[in-house]
Amino acid sequence: MRDRLTPEDLRRNFDRELTSVTTGGGLTTGTGLDDETERALWAIADAHPEIPDALIQTARDTFEAQLDGSHAAARMSDLARRIDEINRR
């Protein structure tokens, strides 16, 4: 069994979760989607049945930021900043 999901696996999972929340369902666990992407999907679920197109686009953009590494880079930058603050004390 492989440990990491491929981008194709993640895209398939995202598409499945997006379909779920746009049709009144919730999210499943173990999808490999990061917190930012899950929050964007939950916003859609919370808005159901009147889901603004902007929420769907935000979820798509957020997922793309997961795939391109933007979310991971932001988390690493934040962690480095926090460590620097601790070291200065």
Domain coordinates of the chain in residue numbers? 37-89
Q: What is the pLDDT of residue 2?
A: 56
Q: Which of 67, 79, 69, 86 is nearest to 6 (CA)?
A: 67
Alpha-carbon distance 17 to 25, whole Å?
9
Mean pLDDT, residues 25-53 taken together: 97
Averaged pLDDT, 29-41? 97
Average pLDDT over residues 1-23: 92
pLDDT at 84 over 70: yes
* Concatenated DSSP letters of 40-61: HHHHHHHHTTS--HHHHHHHHH
Taking the C-alpha atoms of residue 25 and residue 48, their distance in angstroms, rounded to an integer, is 9
